[in-house]
Amino acid sequence: MVALQRYFPVLGWGRNYNRSNFSNDLLAAAIVTIMLVPQSLAYALLAGLPPEMGLYASIMPIVLYAIFGTSRSLAVGPVAVVSLMTAAAVGKIAETGSADYIAAALTLAFLSGLFLMLMGVFRLGFLANFLSHPVIAGFITASGIIIATSQLKHILAIDVQGHTLVGQIVSIVTNIGEIHWLTLVMGISTTAFLFWARKGLTKALLRLGLSAKIAATVGKTGPVLMVIVTIFLTWLLDLGTKGVSLVGAVPQGLPPLSLPSFDSDVWSGLVGSAVLISVIGFVESVSVAQTLAAKKRQRIDPDQELIGLGAANVGASFTGGFPVTGGFSRSVVNFDAGADTPAAGAYAAIGLAFTSLFLTPLIYYLPKATLAATIIVAVTSLIDFSILKRAWIYAKADFIAVAITIVVTLGFGVEFGVTAGLLLSILIHLYKTSRPHFAIVGQVPGSEHFRNVLRHDVITDPAVLGIRVDESLFFANARFLEDTIYDEARKMHELKHVVLLCSAVNSIDMSALESLEAINLRLNDIGIKLHLSEVKGPVMDRLKRCDFLEHLTGDVFLSQHQAMAALGSGTSAT
């Protein structure tokens, strides 16, 4: 039963489900459903897909995540960055609006889900750690700018092409003379109201005497209020006949059964994008899930999250959807509304299914400018240039990674941006680990502690060189260790002993072992013995498996203090 619960978390929380959980989940589902309707439509528009696909992508995926996911609060569905990446990926192999474009979107969801599930089954969630937080922040900031700029075509009612900032700006400037002023007025008004509603609506409701909880809850319905108002005005004033672009007819009914393409050419054209979407979606989702779980002292299983998100995406591909992941804004709303279990997501799916069945005719008069305004306001929270300042102050290497990720994403598109960010993250990690921090150490007077001679007043011995390496030893830094020891040994003419302090060394691979053997032989040739101190148990176990310790010219000491007591001859203050 425990093994089955590992892959079906619903068997765990479902056994203890009670009436209190049901009422809390139902309330949260009602609030999230109201929020999801305009969001789902808007993100389908962003992905270049029919609006109903946004609803479809928010029904079955939520149910599947409720069964396989481990977060009690995560709300799964279309999100801005993944929708933009979907448009960029699918746009390379099919024309927007065509049947092939829709089929490619379904296939992208299937491939993404397949990749996520494979990563989950083989417990490869750690691979996402190679995409560093600063790089992700830079990528999301750049993506937010591209998303906001791309929606100006609906605000201005002009043709804007391209998936890069440069291409979009050129397109806007080229077509600026074709602005539809009535659409522009509606777009600006809607955007201004939504920006105000994010904080101002709640304050206004508080001034009217509503309780803080009710005011906060109703305050989140700003996008829904704007959808209702603009639909009514468009219908009343017949703005569609006056040039305002509308969503138009949206099919009624439950999500259809659909099939992704199994054409090898389509797969080869999308598999790289599917991997990138999977990694970005997983990182975004698991960070939100972990944050919300910590607030309730709960835990999530990242590897099972991969399976849950994978199942959600596979479900989307067979029910007329496109790639999905856990969304920050809707998950926070779900959490704040009091969701106790993943069942809240399943109830929200029922609400969306009801909307798809009975309320879609009302969407006919919804202006695309309203959906564009919803997207613009939503993605402004993604744009955070402060990461550049923080990275510059804290670590110049991270600043370079963030800056390059932003520039590449803006200039060449989201896929190039995330690829560049991933490669930079790995290169920075390899560079740092290939040049580990090391310290020449001496004894702190009156103690058994040894510290960096450059930071503390310590006692050293001209005949003994103590070096502490603050990194595990492996192929990437083995040569650096050799060069460091040889360079330091040349400076000390009375040197007789080198003691390698291994307190920070958690492992030594074969390449590093060969380097230690070379160091041992070379130092011995010039009359210097090599010693080790404070070697950890697992490292010592490995060293005992070979003959290195038999040929070691020196000894292995329990502590650096013991080594200095045994080897020291005369001391000097440093």
pLDDT 10s digits, 67-100: 999 998 899 999 999 999 999 999 999 998 899 9
Domain residue spans of the chain: 2-426, 438-573
| Residue (of 206, 225, 199) closest to 381 by Cα position | 199
Contact 384, 104 (CB under 8 A): no
Contact 85, 340 (CB under 8 A): no
Q: Per DSSP, which regions of 164-305 are E strands? A: none
Q: Copy the structure tokens of residue 308.
A: 């849950």
Q: Under CATH, which number does the domain 438-573 receive?
A: 3.30.750.24
- pLDDT for the residue 284: 85
N-terminal to C-terminal alpha carbon distance within the chain: 63
- pLDDT for the residue 296: 79
- pLDDT for the residue 301: 87
CA atoms within 13 A on the CB side of 402: 23
**What is the tens place of the pLDDT at every residue in 211-255?**
777 777 667 777 888 889 999 999 999 999 999 999 998 899 999
- pLDDT for the residue 87: 93
Quickly list DSSP for 387-434: HHHHHHHH-HHHHHHHHHHHHHHHHH-HHHHHHHHHHHHHHHHHHHHH
- pLDDT for the residue 159: 86
- pLDDT for the residue 423: 86
What angle do helix axes 368-379 and 133-150 make, rounded to 10 degrees?
160
- pLDDT for the residue 2: 58
Q: Are strands 556-557 and 325-326 parallel, antiparallel or unpaired?
A: unpaired
Q: Which segments of the chain have a pLDDT < 70?
A: 1-3, 5-6, 217-218, 569-574
Could you identify the residue written with the tokens 């829904």?
224
Instruction: Read off φ and ψ for residue 551, nearest 5 degrees.
Output: -100, -5
Indicate if the alpha-carbon torsion angle 15, 19, 22, 28 is positive or negative. negative
Contact 142, 405 (CB under 8 A): yes
Contact 11, 4 (CB under 8 A): yes
**H-helix or E-strand containing 120?**
helix 99-121
Q: CA 311 to CA 303: how far, in whole Å?
A: 13
Could you identify the residue written with the tokens 């490619």?
104
